[in-house]
Chains A and B, each alone.
Chain A
Amino acid sequence: MNKISRRDFLKFIGAGSIGAGAGLLYGKSTKKTVELLLPQVIPPEDYSPGIATWYNTICQQCGAGCGISVRTREGRAKKIEGNSNHPVNQGRLCAMGQAGLNALYNPDRIKSPLKRTGERGNNSFTEISWDEALTTLGSRLGNLKIQKHGDSVYLLTGGVRGHIDKLFATFMEAMGSDNYFHYDFTHPFALYEANRIIFGEEIIPYYDINNANYVLSFGADYLGTWISPVHYSLAYGHLRQGRGNQRGKCVQIEPRMSLTGANADEWITCLPGTEGLLAMGLAHVIMNDGGYTGSDQNEWMQAVTPYSPSVVSRQTGVEVRDITRLAHEFMKHQPGLAIGGGHTEGNTNAVASLTAINALNYLSGNLGKPGGIIFNPEPAFPNMSIKRQANYTQMLELITAMTNKGVDILLVHNTNPVFNLPPAAKFIEALHGVPLLVSLSSFMDETTALADLVLPTHTYLEAWGDDIPEPGVGFPIASISQPVVKPVYNTQSIGDIILALAHQIGGELPVALPWTQTEDYLKDSWKKIYQERTPVDATAGFDDFWKAALMSGVWGENKTRPLIKFDRLSNNQIQKIHVSQPSFAGDEKDYPFVLLPYLTQTFYDGRGANLPWLQELPDPMTSIVYSSWVELNPKTANRLGISEGDVLEVQSIAGTIRAPAFLYPAIRPDVIAMPIGQGHSHYGRYAQNRGVNPMTILAPEVDDTNGALAWSATRVRITKTEERIRIIKTDGVTRTLGRQILGNNSVHT
Chain B
Amino acid sequence: MSISVRDALGTFKKPAVISIIGLIGFIIGYVIDVTVFSDASPVQPINFSHRMHVSKNSIPCLHCHVYADKTPSAGVPGVSKCMGCHKVIATEHPEIQKLATYWEKREPIPWIKVHDVPDFVYFTHKRHVLAGLACQECHGPVENMDRVTRVSSLKMPWCVDCHTKKQVENGRDCWTCHK
Contacts and interface: CB of A to CB of B under 8 A. Distances in A.
Interface of A: 1, 8, 11-12, 15-28, 31-32, 34-43, 48-51
Interface stretch (B75-83, B87-95, B134-142): B75-83
B32 A24 contact: yes
A27 B33 contact: yes
A105 B57 CA distance: 41
Interface string B58-83: 00000000010011110111111100
A50 B67 CA distance: 10
A49 B71 contact: yes
B61 to A, nearest CB: 16
B10 interface: yes
A133 to B, nearest CB: 21
10 contacts: A8-B14, A17-B25, A19-B22, A24-B30, A27-B30, A27-B32, A27-B37, A40-B78, A43-B80, A51-B71
Nearest to A48: B71
Nearest to A23: B29
Given A24-B32, A39-B111, A50-B71, A1 B10 contact: yes
B18 interface: yes
Interface in B20-40: 21-34, 37, 39
Given A1-B6, A42-B78, A48 B29 contact: no
Closest 9 pairs (CB-CB, A-B): A23-B29, A19-B25, A27-B33, A20-B29, A19-B22, A23-B30, A23-B26, A43-B78, A20-B25
Given A39-B77, A49-B67, A50-B71, 18 more contacts: A11-B14, A12-B17, A16-B21, A16-B22, A18-B22, A20-B28, A22-B22, A23-B31, A26-B29, A35-B113, A35-B116, A36-B112, A37-B111, A38-B108, A39-B108, A39-B109, A42-B78, A48-B71
A154 B67 CA distance: 51
Contacts of B76: 37, 39
Contact of B25 (A11, A23, A48): A23
Contacts of B14: 8, 11
B106 interface: yes
B70 A48 contact: yes
B167 interface: no
A475 B28 CA distance: 79
Contacts of A32: 39, 116
A276 to B, nearest CB: 60
Contacts of B173: none
Chain B contact residues: over half helix, strand or loop, or mixed?
Answer: helix
A488 B31 CA distance: 48
A26 B30 contact: yes
A51 B73 CA distance: 9
A50 B119 CA distance: 13
A150 B116 CA distance: 63
B44 to A, nearest CB: 10
Contacts of B70: 48
Given A15-B25, A50-B72, A24 B33 contact: yes
Contacts of A38: 108-111
B130 to A, nearest CB: 14
Given A12-B21, A20-B28, A27-B37, A36 B111 contact: yes
Contacts of A36: 110-113
A28 B33 contact: yes
Contacts of B19: 15
A11 B77 CA distance: 55
Given A12-B17, A36-B112, A37-B76, A27 B103 contact: no
A35 B42 CA distance: 11
A12 B6 CA distance: 20
B25 A37 contact: no
A530 B17 CA distance: 91
A412 B133 CA distance: 60
A345 B14 CA distance: 92
Contacts of A11: 14, 18
Nearest to B112: A34
Contacts of B24: 16, 19
B107 interface: yes
Contact of A35 (B26, B30, B112): B112
A379 to B, nearest CB: 42
Contacts of A42: 78-80
Contact of A40 (B10, B39, B73, B108): B108
